[in-house]
Amino acid sequence: MVNECAVPKKIIKGGKEVMVCDETRSRLLPVLQDIQDKKGYISDKNMQEVADMFGIHPVEVFSVITFYSFLSEKKKGKHIIRVSNCVSNVMAGSEKIVKEFEKVLMIEIGQTTKDGEFTLERTSCIGMCNEAPAIMVDDKLIGKVTPQRVKKIIQEQKQ
């Protein structure tokens, strides 16, 4: 039943019209994640290339990128620091951590440092609720963060 074309198709199943797509299209996210990983963002040119590869319109690639918060069409810092603002973290004082990062990096949340090293963001629960306040630096989960530890965390990334 899987068809070889790269575009989703409508089929009738159980009397209902449903969309199916083939294996190739299902590789879209891993491909985009790979570009995001290597370059830190997905440029217009990349979008066009990916669109050609899958035989879909670039707008469709764009719409997938904008859906996922870990994919970005804008250039971001080399390292992304995400501070969790879930309830457990807020109760444990995550706002203080945000403030300290803002102070040390001299940016506001949502921004990237001038040298392109760091982007500071908020995120929801990262599964570190029992070690709040917690942050994610790139792939790393770091718990029990204190304002005092912030500088050291930043330095560790630079090495």
Partner 1 sequence: MKVKDKKTKELPKRQGLVIFSEIENGAGLKKALKIKKEQVVAEISASNLKGRGGAGFPAGLKWKFAAQEKDEQKYVVCNADEGEPGTFKDKVLLSEYAPLFLEGMVIAAYAVGAKQGFVYLRGEYRSFVPALESELKEMKKNNLLGENIGGKKGFNFDIEIRLGAGAYICGEETALIESLEGNRGEPRNRPPFPVNTGYNGHPTIVNNVETFAAVVHIAAKGADWFKVIGTEKSAGTKLLSVSGDCKKPGVYEAAYGISIKEILKMTDAKDVKAVQVGGASGVCVPKSQFDRTIAYEDLSTGGSIIIFGQKRNLLDAAENFLEFFEEESCGQCTPCREGIPVLIEAVKMLKKGECGKEYLKDILSLCETMQLASKCGLGQSCPNAFISIINNFKKDYALSKNSKQEKTFNG
Contacting positions for partner 1 (CB under 8 A)? 1-2, 8, 11, 13-14, 16, 18, 20-23, 25-30, 33, 54, 63-64, 67-71, 85-88, 90-91, 123-132, 136, 139-141
φ and ψ at residue 74, rounded to 5 degrees: -110, 150
Between 105 and 134, CB nearer to ligand FES: 134
Side by side, the strands of the sheet bearing 135-137 are: 118-123, 79-84, 135-137, 140-142
The candidate with the shortest Cα–Cα distance to 126, out of 152, 88, 79, is: 88
Residue linked to tokens 């804008």 = 74
Task: Report residue 70 as tokens.
Answer: 């870990």
What is the Cα–Cα distance from 75 to 113, expressed in whole angstroms? 12
SS3 37: helix
From the list partner 1, ligand FES, none, partner contacted by residue 94 (C-beta under 5 to 8 A by kind)? none
Calculate helix-pair angle for 58-67, 44-54, nearest 10 degrees. Answer: 110
Between 43 and 124, CB nearer to partner 1: 124
From the list partner 1, ligand FES, none, partner contacted by residue 23 (C-beta under 5 to 8 A by kind)? partner 1
Between 40 and 133, CB nearer to ligand FES: 133
φ and ψ at residue 13, rounded to 5 degrees: -135, 130
CB of 94 to partner 1, least distance (A): 11
Between 27 and 96, CB nearer to partner 1: 27
CB of 9 to partner 1, least distance (A): 9
Sites of contact with ligand FES (CB under 6 A) = 84, 86-89, 125-129, 132, 134
